[in-house]
Structure 1
Amino acid sequence: MRFSVFTASTPSWSPAVAVEKLAAQGWDGIEWRVLDQQPSATGEPGFWAGNLATLPLSTVEDDAPGIGSMVRDAGLSISGVAGYAKAFEHDDVDRVLRGAAAMGATQVRVAMPRSDSGEPYPVALERTRGDLERAIGVAAPLGVKVLVELHHETITPSASAARRLLEGLDPVHVGVIHDLGNLVIEGFERHTSAFEILGDHLAHVHVKNARWVTDGSRTAAGSLVWHHEWATLRDGQADVGQYLTDLRAHGYDGWVTLEDFSTDLPLEERTRDNLAFVKALVGVDV
């Protein structure tokens, strides 16, 4: 396995600082967040707004060669590019695919439609299947694989849903990101079963952790109200050690990208500790 960090989780580092810090800590790679984002409401860098390590979608094609050179010069690899363009946003999808190819990345996340859009699920599924086939047609000549993430509140929250969407499509050109933390929120299936369901479409892995909490409030009908929050790798509901064991038993030996959205530790300490933790779990010296 090779370990990388998704830059959504390094909001206070510029791209150059992220590359420098992660290389010095001994990571194998970096996964870029690509988005024309909103400014932070507080003026401080945040995971989802004002993130300094995010590459702007509008300039990614121009910026890509320099980003690729910077990563390679530091001795890192690009584990992937996580775009936020929905599959039906064709121009933006194509832009991030071309940018990824220009920086030397070989796989790109294409975002799935939300499940609460009001569109009937079978209709959304069929339309998205066509959008993916179109994206593959653009990506394949560029040497880039399209990735679909298992993500809560989208039409692919689970391995079974993703398999239904991708059934019959060539896994050489399209695959699935299995995301441990997202599955705490929605879509959990026994890991070994999920890997078998995905088969050759299991292409990439994201690791973070989450937990469900309640403040004791109740709905008008009397049910206890729960909500999810991000947690450290050790303190969430998912067993990261067992997950990595199951991945290895399945024969997975690809990229594992960490995206820790907890704030218990300062960023630099957090990334360093996470690398030591996961390497210890798989029996690799730091």
Structure 2
Amino acid sequence: MNLGVTAVMLPELDFEEQIALCAALGLRYYQYRPRIIPAEHRDQPYSCWGNHKFDLTPERFLKEGQTLTKKLRQAGLEPWGALPSAGIDDPDDTLRLHLEGAAHAEARCVRVSPPTYPDKPFNYAELLERVIRRYNVIVQTMARPLGIKIIVETHCHSLVTSPGLAWAICRHFDPRELGVIFDIANFTREGEVRPNLAVSVLRDYIDCVHLGGGQHVVGKVDALGCNVVTVQSSAFENSDLHIPTWLNALHEAGVKAPIIIEDFAAHMTGPDRLRHDVDFLNKVLVKRV
């Protein structure tokens, strides 16, 4: 399994610094983060979901993507998709901007998310039908002409939070045109099933794996004496989901998708987390072989 990283977890580094670190660690793949930094986060400390030293806006990605990918390849890396803050209900022009940027950068795929589900019971079949129709439009009229694949992420609070829910959408599409980011850290928060079942459900649709750790923590006890549990990002080895078991399930199913490191644990800086994670994964993968 080849390793890569998402730029989301490296807010402290500019592009050249990110490339140098990835090359030094022997990584193969890099996922772009073309997003607009909110005004309230600018001039604030760097953070995964806030201010980034490498300020890659969607417009800049479209303009400079080809040059950025050339720099990646000069360092022995390949782009594996772009992760904008894009959803299916965004205006067509907004989605085309993201897709054209990825096409110029030869980044091959773009994450476009389904909507979050309502807080109260709702008509799932009706919402699912609408979502499938919209993905059809995006794939056929926007992505396909550019040679770009759409990817959806198994993400908490979204309509694809579990493998089965992701399958309900992606089964209507050719896996070469719509695939899944198999996010193991998100399964810690919501949507977990046994690794062999999760992999078997989505096998051909798994485009890449996002790998992070998570732990359930009892934050407080409510008035009825019930535990109120939250989930925190954790080091891989401390994750409530046993990462070697998940990697073995992917391997046994013949899934060749790259492992993209996406570690948000707060105990280290992004670069130090990445160094630690690569060392951990190299040990796991060598032992498996």
Q: TM-score, normalised by structure 2?
A: 0.92
Name 1:82's counterpart in structure 2: 83
Name 1:97's counterpart in structure 2: 99
Cα offsets for 1:115-169 (capped at 9, x unmatched): 1377643333222112211121221222221111101100110110011112221
Residues 38-49 of structure 1 mapped to structure 2, 5 A cutoff = 38=38, 39-40=40-41, 43-49=44-50
SS at 1:178's partner residue?
Answer: strand
Residues 106-185 of structure 1 mapped to structure 2, 5 A cutoff = 106-116=108-118, 120-137=123-140, 138-185=142-189
Structure 1 unmatched ranges of 5 or more:
none
Name 2:208's counterpart in structure 1: 204
**Match for residue 255 of structure 1 among 240, 258, 261:** 258
Aligned partners of 2:194, 2:93: CA distance in 1, in Å? 37
SS at 1:214's partner residue?
Answer: strand
The amino acid of 2:206's aligned partner reads: L
Aligned partners of 2:123, 2:37: CA distance in 1, in Å? 29
* Residues 18 and 53, structure 1, Cα contact 8 Å, conserved in 2: no
Aligned partners of 2:98, 2:226: CA distance in 1, in Å? 43
Return closer, same or farther for 1:172/1:91 CA change in 2, 3 Å cut-off.
Answer: same
Q: After TM superposition, which residue ranges in structure 1, 4 or more long, deviate above 6 angstroms?
A: none
* Residues 139 and 150, structure 2, Cα contact 8 Å, conserved in 1: yes
> Does 1:26 find its partner at 2:29?
no
Q: TM-score, normalised by structure 1?
A: 0.93
Name 1:193's counterpart in structure 2: 197
Name 1:275's counterpart in structure 2: 278
Deviation at 1:35, TM superposition (A): 1.2
Aligned partners of 1:132, 1:54: CA distance in 2, in Å? 29
Identical columns (%): 24
Cα offsets for 1:92-136 (capped at 9, x unmatched): 222111111111111211112111377643333222112211121
Aligned partners of 1:79, 1:53: CA distance in 2, in Å? 18
Cα offsets for 1:21-79 (capped at 9, x unmatched): 11122111211112112142771111101022452123321121121111111110112
Cα offsets for 1:145-195 (capped at 9, x unmatched): 111110110011011001111222111111111111000100011121122
Structure 2 unmatched ranges of 5 or more:
none
Aligned partners of 1:206, 1:54: CA distance in 2, in Å? 22
State which drifts further: 116-125 or 14-23.
116-125
* Residues 37 and 50, structure 1, Cα contact 8 Å, conserved in 2: yes
* Residues 34 and 81, structure 1, Cα contact 8 Å, conserved in 2: yes
Aligned partners of 2:23, 2:6: CA distance in 1, in Å? 14
The amino acid of 2:264's aligned partner reads: F
* Residues 207 and 259, structure 1, Cα contact 8 Å, conserved in 2: yes
The amino acid of 1:126's aligned partner reads: E
Name 2:67's counterpart in structure 1: 66
Name 2:56's counterpart in structure 1: 55
Aligned partners of 2:56, 2:131: CA distance in 1, in Å? 25
Aligned partners of 1:4, 1:258: CA distance in 2, in Å? 6
SS at 1:75's partner residue?
Answer: coil
